[in-house]
């Protein structure tokens, strides 16, 4: 979904919010998360959805009984998400990686942290700082699941082709160990685009 560092990495999202919301809502939570769902907590847990976009995933997790905080820095997406999923008790925040200042100021830590179509918007320095932030906001024993986009970059967007190896290496430095790796084709059929999913577990 939307990138999370103010400025260049969210470029193009506000202008295309209506189209993007339709795109996000056209696929299901289960299809997007696929094999990684087996790792998600079954008991009611605290969830942080970073780059929540239209709120598709946040709403689905709330429906399963989880307490969900949805972080989305693009106001146009955040407001549409609030309206579309108004029936779900999701807490929306205007916050962004790599610092997640509002989340960290709250002192909360989460059992599940999601970054769906987010990580590729951060440059090398931002990814290092962002992974440190993820280590700080993930509860002991908690799970971080992020997706990495590979392939052509759309016009007007800022994206980087980030490797699984780099991501796992950064995570290891923050006490997060890889517990899941998988790949899939693009659900929207975009030519040359594919995705990797990385699951990271914090030590208990």
Q: How far apart are CA 172 and CA 189, in angstroms?
A: 33
Q: Report which of residues 202 and 1 the model is more confident about.
A: 202
Q: Which CATH number is 93's domain given?
A: 3.40.50.150
Is the residue at 2 inside a domain? no
Number of domains the chain is built from: 1
Is the residue at 3 inside a domain? no
pTM: 0.89
At 91-100, the pLDDT tens digits run 999 999 999 9
Q: How many CB atoms lie within 10 A of CB 128?
A: 15
pLDDT higher than 70, residue 1: no
Q: Which domain holds residue 140?
A: 8-202
Is the residue at 1 inside a domain? no
């Amino acid at each position: 979904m939307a990138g999370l560092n103010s400025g260049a990495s969210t470029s193009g999202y506000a202008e295309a919010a209506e189209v993007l919301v339709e795109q996000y809502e056209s696929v299901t939570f289960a299809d997007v998360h696929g094999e990684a769902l087996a790792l998600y907590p079954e008991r009611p847990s605290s969830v942080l959805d970073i780059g929540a976009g239209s709120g598709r995933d946040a709403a689905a997790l709330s429906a399963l009984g989880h307490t969900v905080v949805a972080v989305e820095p693009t106001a146009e997406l955040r407001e549409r998400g609030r309206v579309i999923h108004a029936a779900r008790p999701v807490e929306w925040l205007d916050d962004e990686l790599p610092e997640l200042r509002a989340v960290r100021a709250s002192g909360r830590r989460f059992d599940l942290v999601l970054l769906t179509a987010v990580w590729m918007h951060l440059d090398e320095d931002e990814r290092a700082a962002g992974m440190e932030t993820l280590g700080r906001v993930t509860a002991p024993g908690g799970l971080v699941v992020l997706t990495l986009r590979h392939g052509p970059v759309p016009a007007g967007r800022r994206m980087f082709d980030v490797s699984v190896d780099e991501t796992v290496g950064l995570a290891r430095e923050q006490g997060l160990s890889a517990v899941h790796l998988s790949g899939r084709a693009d659900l929207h059929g975009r030519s040359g685009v594919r995705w990797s999913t990385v699951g990271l577990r914090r030590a208990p």
